[in-house]
Every structure is written in C-alpha cells, then in structure tokens.
Structure 1
C-alpha cells in the first residue's frame, strides 16, 4: 500500500499524537508499505527528509500565539493560499491508496480530506483530542468550533474514524454524525521497552529526593489535565506522609496548579521539571512510587499506559470500561478514584504509598495488561488491517 500519514504534530514536536503517528508511520514502512508523512514545519527540522524508512515533508506553518484558549500549546497551522496547491502536488505525485489522518481540527486534515474526496481515496481519521474544557466559557467556544467548523468538514469527505476508547466513541457519534462512514476500534499503542529499564537512583539524586515517597505526574499540564485535584489532595497526603514529593514531568501550558500550591502551602513538596528528553522518562518512572494525572474523568491516555507498562501503579479517574472489553479493575491493575475529588484521591494515594505489597501486585497486573493489549506492534497490525479494508477491491 501507499499510505499518506497526515498530522500537524510530528516529531521533533512532542506529545502523544506526534509520537503515535511517527510510530505508526515507521511501522507501516517496516511492514513493506510506502509511506509519506505530511506535517507542519518545526524549528530546525528538515523540510523534506527520509527518516525511519519514511519520507517526511514539513510545510510552512504559523504557530498560534500563546493564549489560554490554545492552552499556550505548541500548535502550528499551515493555512495559506498555497496550501491546496501544495497538497495537490504532493498527493498527486505520491498517489496514495489510503490516507491516515491524525487530529480532526487541523488544516492539514481538512485539506487532505478534500483532496481525498475529489480523488476517491479512502481516509482513516484518528481523533486524539476531544474539543472539551472544564471552563464553561471555553467549552462554549469549543462546542461552536466543533459544530460550525469541524463537523461540516467531516460531512464533506466522510472519513472512517478510529475509536480508541468508549468516551471517544460517544464523542465522535455525538459531534460528527452525518460525517462518519464507519468506525474502527483500535486502542492506543505504546512501546513498553521504551519506558522500561530506568535507574531508580538517577532522578532521585538529580532532584535531591533521597528515599522520600514520590508521586509522579506525567504529561503536559493543560486544562483537561490541570493537576488541581492532585494539588488539593496534597495537604492531606503530607499530613500523614510529610516527606512525600510530587514530581510533575511535562510542559506547563496551564499554570493554575502552581498558584494553588502556594495558596495551600504545599509548594515545598512540588518539583516541576517542564518538558524533558524522552530518554529521561524511564528514569522518572523507575524513581516514582505511584503515578497520577488523569483526574477529570476524560479518559486514559498514552502517558498512563506507558506508566503501567513500566511497572508503576497508576491512579486515575476513569471508567472501568474505558477500553470496552479490556477492563481497568480497581485495586487489581489500577487505582480508580472519582473525578475531581481531592479527599478520595488523598486517601487512595496514602493507601497506595503505605502498602508496597499491593503496589507491586498492581504494578505487575498493569504491565501484563499493557503487554497483552496495547503494544505498538499489535496496534500497528490492527491499523494496517483497517487501512487495507478501506481500499476498494481489497
């Protein structure tokens, strides 16, 4: 197959969507398929290169200004008068059998979707982020964008959607009805080997943590993962385990949790690293006793699965059936808590930190769950099968 992979986010940009689209693109190439990646330019990355058996073309882009609406995130758009022509040149020359898009609200998605409609090429679309916010004002804005901008594009070229979990399925069918040609159930994929084998001492020495209990919180800080519940749980945790340290690893694009930490006088227990090299992640995972960041009830993302894969117990506010038949079971392979409930979270964190036997049991079960269901090889195979099924005559 000739597969065009489209995502405004692609390494060296960081983030779950970027890393997943790269892993899939390279996985397609490793299985003998010809792959073209179309993405947005980034810093000093080459505008046209071959990496990992994949041709990557980065188109001129404008980075959105840092605003609270864009959660100060590194978002780039390629919209300019020349974009349709550039997309046409690339895809006419490449002649893809199928297009795999990532992200429903990007201009590259819309431009390649319209090209696909004109040329009769099927499209698979992975939705990584729901346009949702805990802020009522921003939720109104996001709902309007979904209804009047994103959904009309979906109805124009009608892609097949990748459903990664039950909440994403509900979101897609609610927001984009009339623009769905079908759905494919494929969970998130992670590479367990990439997060295992860290040295517990490395980050503890770097940050002067010593033997203190460590709560790790991974991933970018954005409104949907704002760490506010976690900070508000910390006074009760510190009252019983005063040496505990909370280590937040990831870019800070929404800093309300820092102000709240000062208000609650728990700032001394907080270590905020910002974004770190990918190679450091296994050491942070090995240094921690427990991980916690998905607390709004919006799902269970790549970072949480990577923590489980590394053998780290995870606390999350997520549905047991988040992945359908693949069950997340409280106190068996994960710790489940109510959304945005600091008291319940504090109790569970203290319980987990005080019971190393239970922690080891949950860690083993979590790693086994990932190995059985979420490895990147298995997910790539499912995507390849889905792409093949979309092509007429296959």
Structure 2
C-alpha cells in the first residue's frame, strides 16, 4: 500500500503522539509499504528527507504564541493560503491508498482530510488529545472549538477513529457525532525494549540525587497533568522518607505545582528537568523507585506504559477498564489510588519505597501486561490490518 501519515507533531518534536506516529510510519515502511509523512517544519530538521521507503516532508509552519489556553505548548500550524495547493501537489503525486492522521484539531489533518474526501481515499484518525480542561473557562472554549470548528470539518470526510481507551471512546462519541465512519479499538503502542537497560548513575550524578529514593513524574506538565496532587502528598511522604526526591521530567507548561510546593515548604525536594532527549528516558526510569503523574482521572498514556515496561511501579488515578479488553488491577499489575486524596497517595508512595521486593513483583506483572497488549509490534500489526481492510473496501 501507499500510506500517508499526517501529524503536526513529529520528531524532533517530542511527545507521545510524535513518537508513536514516527514508530508507526517506520513500521509501515519496514513492512514493505511506501510511506509519505506530512508534518510541520522544525528548525532542527530538514524540510524534505527520504529514508528507505519513507519520505518526510515538513511544511513551513508558524508556532503559536505560548499562552495559557495553548498550555504554553510548542504547537506549530502550517495554515496559510498556499497550504491546500501544497497538500494537493504532495498527495496528487504520492497517490496514497489510505491516510493515517494523528490529531483531530490540526490544519494538516483538515487539509489532508478534505483532499481524501475529494479523491475517495479512506482515512484513519488517531485522536491523542481530548480538547478538555479541568478549568471551567477553558473547558467552555474547548467545547466551542470542537462544536464550531473541529466537528464540522470532520463531518466533511468522516474518518474511521482509533479508540485508544474507553474515555477517548466516550469523548469521540460525544463530540464528533455524525463524523464517525467507524471505530477500531487499538491501544497506544510502546517499545518495551527501548526503555529497559538504563543506567541510573547518569541521572543521579546529573542531578546530585545520591542514593535518595526517586519519585519519578514523567511527561509534560499541563493542566490535565498538573502534579498538584503529588505536591499535596509530598509532605506526608517526606515525614516518613525525608530524603525522597520528586523528579519531574518534561516541559513545565503549567507551574501551579511549583507555587504550591513553595507554600507547603517542600520545593527543596523537587527537581524539574525540563524536556529531555528521548535517549535519556531509560536512565530516569532506571533511577526511579516509583512513577506517578496520572492523578486527575484523564486516562493512562504513553509515559505510564513505558514506565510499566521498564518494571517501575506506577501509581495512577485510572479506571480498571481503561483499555478495552485489558484489565488494570490494583496491587497486581499497577497501583490504583482514588482522586484528590493526598494522604492515601502519600501512604501508597511510602509503601512502594519501603517495600522494594513486594513492589518489584507488581512491577514485573505490569511489564508482562505491556509486553502482551501494548508492545509496538502488536499495535503496528493492528494498525496495518485496519488500514488494509479500509483500502480493500474502497
């Protein structure tokens, strides 16, 4: 097949969506397919490059101003008068059999979707981020954007949606009714081997951690993952494990947790690294006693699964049935805690740190769960089967 992969986020930009779309694109090419990746320009990457059976085209883009509404994220849009023509030229030349889009609210998604509608090409759409916020004003704005902008465009070409978890399935059904040609349940994929075998000494020396127990919190800090719950629990942790360190790995795009830490007098126990190269992630995982960042009930993403794959105990606020057909079980393969109960969270973190043998058994079971259901090879096969079926039906 000839597969076009579309995502405004693509390496060297970092993030779960970027890395998954890259891994899938490379996997499609390795399986013998011709692949065209269409993404937004990045100052550290060429505008056009060919690697084997895969071509990556990075279109000129403008970064959005870093505002609170955009959670200060590095968001680049290619929207300009010439975009439809450029997309038409690229896709007319490549003639894709199917298009796999990542992200529902990007201009490249909309432009390639409208091209697909005019040319009768099936589209698979992976929604990685829900337009939701715990803040009332932002939630109203996001709902309005979905209703007035995103949904009407999606209805024009009606993609088939990848449902990565039950919450995403509920969101898609609510927000994009009338735009859904079908759904397929495929979880987010991770590379278990990549996250294993890190060297903890690199991280401990870099940040002066010594032998301190490390509570790792992986992923960008945004309102949906604000780390406030962790900071609220930190006094209870430090009362029993005084040398514990909370290491936040990722860009800090929402710093309310640092302000709260100062109020509680625990800022000295927090290390923020900012965004780090992907190659360093295994070292941070190897240094961790426990990983925790999913505390607001908005799902269970790539960073959590990668931590489980590395045999790091993971603490989260998430439903047991978050993934269709896969069960997350408290104290069996993960640590599940209630939302907004800092004392309970502190107790669980201390328990994990003080019982490494018992925690290790749960962590091993978590790694086995990831190997069985979330390994990239398995997820890649599911995507290829879906794309092949879509192509055959057109």
Q: TM-score, normalised by structure 2?
A: 0.99
- Does the 8 A contact of 2:47 with 2:59 survive in 1? yes
| C-alpha distance in 2 between matches for 1:359 and 1:201 | 21
| C-alpha distance in 2 between matches for 1:133 and 1:374 | 27
Q: CA deviation at 1:339?
A: 2.0
| C-alpha distance in 2 between matches for 1:74 and 1:52 | 29
Aligned length: 394
In structure 1, the residue matched to 2:97 is 97
With 123-132 and 340-349 compared, the bigger mean Cα shift is at: 340-349
- Does the 8 A contact of 1:133 with 1:224 survive in 2? yes
In structure 2, the residue matched to 1:360 is 360
- Determine helix, strand or coil for the equivalent of 1:221: coil
Q: CA deviation at 1:279?
A: 1.2
| C-alpha distance in 2 between matches for 1:208 and 1:105 | 41
- Does the 8 A contact of 2:7 with 2:18 survive in 1? yes
| C-alpha distance in 1 between matches for 2:373 and 2:44 | 36
| C-alpha distance in 1 between matches for 2:317 and 2:157 | 35
In structure 2, the residue matched to 1:380 is 380
Could you report, residue by residue, the CA deviation over 1:255-293 in whole angstroms, capped at 9, with x for unpaired residues?
111111111100110011111111111111010100000
- Determine helix, strand or coil for the equivalent of 1:217: strand
Q: Does 1:347 align with 2:314?
A: no
- Does the 8 A contact of 1:26 with 1:52 survive in 2? no
In structure 2, the residue matched to 1:173 is 173
With 350-359 and 157-166 compared, the bigger mean Cα shift is at: 350-359
In structure 1, the residue matched to 2:86 is 86
- Determine helix, strand or coil for the equivalent of 1:134: coil
Q: CA deviation at 1:44?
A: 3.1
In structure 2, the residue matched to 1:207 is 207
Correspondence 1:241-390 to 2 at 5 A:
241-390=241-390
- Determine helix, strand or coil for the equivalent of 2:92: helix
Q: TM-score, normalised by structure 1?
A: 0.99
- Determine helix, strand or coil for the equivalent of 1:87: helix
Q: Please, which runs of 5 or more residues in structure 1 have no aligned partner?
A: none
- Does the 8 A contact of 1:246 with 1:271 survive in 2? yes
| C-alpha distance in 2 between matches for 1:393 and 1:162 | 18
In structure 2, the residue matched to 1:17 is 17
Could you report, residue by residue, the CA deviation over 1:62-94 in whole angstroms, capped at 9, with x for unpaired residues?
100010000010001111110110000000010
- Determine helix, strand or coil for the equivalent of 2:73: coil
| C-alpha distance in 2 between matches for 1:51 and 1:32 | 13
In structure 1, the residue matched to 2:239 is 239
- Does the 8 A contact of 2:6 with 2:37 survive in 1? yes
| C-alpha distance in 1 between matches for 2:393 and 2:11 | 34
Q: CA RMSD in A?
A: 1.0
Runs of 4+ that moved beyond 2 A: none
- Does the 8 A contact of 1:166 with 1:323 survive in 2? yes
Could you report, residue by residue, the CA deviation over 1:316-350 in whole angstroms, capped at 9, with x for unpaired residues?
00000001221110001000011232222111111
- Determine helix, strand or coil for the equivalent of 1:142: helix
- Does the 8 A contact of 2:203 with 2:284 survive in 1? yes
- Determine helix, strand or coil for the equivalent of 1:320: coil
Q: Please, which runs of 5 or more residues in structure 2 have no aligned partner?
A: none
